[in-house]
Structure 1
């Protein structure tokens, strides 16, 4: 309970301002212990005093804004219909667990469902499990809804869905595991932040953005998915993917398909069944500072133009460190592509004059194939280092541009380089 002195100082009023003071004095009353029933509409702050079991439809329905529903270590249990907690448009509602015992929301269609018009809601500290369509769903729910610090486990389909134009929401610090579908799915929604979630053991991809732009994926971890870790598809443009990690996923760690202008920065993607980063028909992205070692391939571009691939580590893959197929006007700068099972850097595709790729300052050592292999023309090869590779240091077809300053030694081919001049 908030207590006030009878006299408020002028200095205190100056700091908080009149608006903040009015907000404090008119805040909702403290939650009280309540014995509720399945499907009940809740219009005041409450603390549950018992489980609700075998609810035939919804568990609890939010009926007013500005309230707190504290499950207090109790269980909301359904029969496969409705939502455990349903909010059809009320703002600033907190659904939480104030007990040390687990508060479980289970066996509904949706664990928690925030429908159009909801804003400022908090869903936190719950165990949301064995629901049908999603553990938590935001459907056209905008403006600072926060889903945080929940355990979201074993849904029949998705862990968390954000769709229908939901924007400016935060999905933070959740443990999302063993869901049969996607871990987190964002569709046609913008300006959401997905941060520090742990997604594991899913039956589909870990985190998927579909037709969703200007979102931020920060410091999430995805492991053990039966598909890829992260997917950006269908014009998911101008997103930030930074500081994330992945391991032991069945497909590529990050696939960007049909999307432009994404920033992929300082991620660690390892142990994937495909490449670490894949760009397919995706232009104008920045891929810098990532570690994509120990995957089937490192960084792979196909039909993707005008991208910056810089200062990445693409070592110890079973395939090519960095490969470009029919992709043009890309800048490959200062990357490491060492000890790969095939080529360090592999480029194939005929570029028009002035549309070639720029290979500048990369290090490609100890690969089983060539350090750098550039087929067709017209690409620029400048200032790269290629030592101790199993074939050529640099192999370039006629017509490519020797930008000078390439270094090569210890490669299996006596000439060290062909198509460009290399010095030891």
Structure 2
């Protein structure tokens, strides 16, 4: 892709006393090295492209950097922007670690410190460990505000504002064992947080809003924890796990008014989805497709076009969720086997409370146990194929049947129904009032 930048003459570099080098991409970069000083941070006026080898506090802005802004050139140092701006021309990286460990990139001032108009705002390069990126404003960069490129472990990206990147807000690529916490990630044109081929990371207490694509996505990433994030107003789904993103924990997140599903899981196994709230989505609150052995417990998926949707997804446990007041089915299960639907509330939906379609052979059917399905606009529970088990469900005041089960399903007993539009209350199973 063609990149545009300001035209810079070699005379500018000569006047500034900077040695010019040409990269393999033909981009002019400046690469002086900071003078050694005391171990404690010292106030310095740095220059674009400078390699920093000691702890520093900036005293002035760096403007129109032609390549990189600043480069970490030693272990165990601090770069304090001190309310100043590091500004580029659409090339290079604002602050790059260059593989050194345990740097702290921070802002001690009460006024914001911006890193803007580079390819990447901050980039932790392969092998970087123990580095902190905090209290910075990453604005209007091209590919990402912050990228961890095979950087692991124990890097912490916290309390930053990441806004208006042309692509993604924060990226983890091949990066394991890191933490993203307390960041405000807003109005980025691509994904808010994008995690690929990365394991064992914690993504917690971030606010991810108004993304031009999916707000928070994992691809091929396992054993990560997504905890207590707020996700609003994305142009696609709120949270997506796909392409063998296995054994992750998605817990206590909140998502509202996103254009696709609140949470989408596909081609992944062993995930745990616990105590999340997904409201006002453009699709179902939680959608599974070819997603197996998932635990979905204690979630509130009310007020979406559908509550919880399973397609070609087997051996999942759907327990104690609230799927009320949707414009479709509270819980729908299609061509999926060996699932347990237990103790869910599926009330006042515009279609059915629970809908199960797809045949099963003996021992492979779904178990529909002790759910409450009241006041739905169609049947409380509708099972159109066999062999599935229905036991201990309560269905009242639905506009169709309390329970409608095709012949051949298993009646586990203790089903209850009253006040439903169909006088017989239940078909295919025996119900008591």
- What is the match of residue 49 of structure 2? 39
**Unaligned 5+ runs, structure 2:** 1-37
Counterpart CA distance in 1 for 2:255 and 2:211 is 13
SS in 2 for 1:275: coil
- What is the match of residue 179 of structure 1? 188
Deviation (angstroms), 1:179: 0.3
Matched, 1:251 2:255: no
- What is the match of residue 53 of structure 1? 63
SS in 1 for 2:292: coil
Counterpart CA distance in 2 for 1:32 and 1:203 is 41
Matched, 1:396 2:405: yes
Q: 1:105 aligns with which of 107, 115, 136?
A: 115
Counterpart CA distance in 1 for 2:114 and 2:337 is 52
- What is the match of residue 345 of structure 1? 354
SS in 2 for 1:282: strand
Matched, 1:204 2:235: no
**Unaligned 5+ runs, structure 1:** 1-27
SS in 2 for 1:258: strand
Deviation (angstroms), 1:352: 1.2
- What is the match of residue 65 of structure 1? 75
Counterpart CA distance in 1 for 2:215 and 2:351 is 29
Give me the TM-score of the superposition, normalised by structure 2: 0.91
- What is the match of residue 331 of structure 2? 322
Counterpart CA distance in 1 for 2:203 and 2:167 is 19
Counterpart CA distance in 2 for 1:339 and 1:30 is 64
* Pairing 1:399-418 to 2, within 5 Å after superposition: 399-418=408-427
Matched, 1:84 2:94: yes
Deviation (angstroms), 1:30: 1.3
Counterpart CA distance in 2 for 1:60 and 1:102 is 18
- What is the match of residue 384 of structure 1? 393
- What is the match of residue 314 of structure 2? 305
Q: 1:140 aligns with which of 144, 147, 150?
A: 150
Deviation (angstroms), 1:88: 1.4
- What is the match of residue 11 of structure 2? none
Q: 1:125 aligns with which of 103, 121, 135?
A: 135
- What is the match of residue 197 of structure 2? 188
SS in 1 for 2:154: coil
Aligned length: 396
Counterpart CA distance in 1 for 2:140 and 2:196 is 23
1:266-295 CA distance string (max 9 Å, x none): 001101010000010010010000000011
Deviation (angstroms), 1:62: 0.5
Q: Give the CA RMSD over aligned residues.
A: 0.6
SS in 2 for 1:402: strand
* Pairing 1:131-170 to 2, within 5 Å after superposition: 131-163=141-173, 165-170=174-179
Deviation (angstroms), 1:387: 0.2
1:232-275 CA distance string (max 9 Å, x none): 00000000000001000000000000000000000011010100
Matched, 1:240 2:242: no
SS in 1 for 2:360: coil
Counterpart CA distance in 1 for 2:39 and 2:50 is 20
SS in 1 for 2:374: coil
Structure 1 runs (4+) greater than 4 angstroms displaced: none
- What is the match of residue 75 of structure 1? 85
Q: 1:228 aligns with which of 226, 230, 237?
A: 237
Counterpart CA distance in 1 for 2:193 and 2:54 is 31
1:204-232 CA distance string (max 9 Å, x none): 00000000000000000110000000000
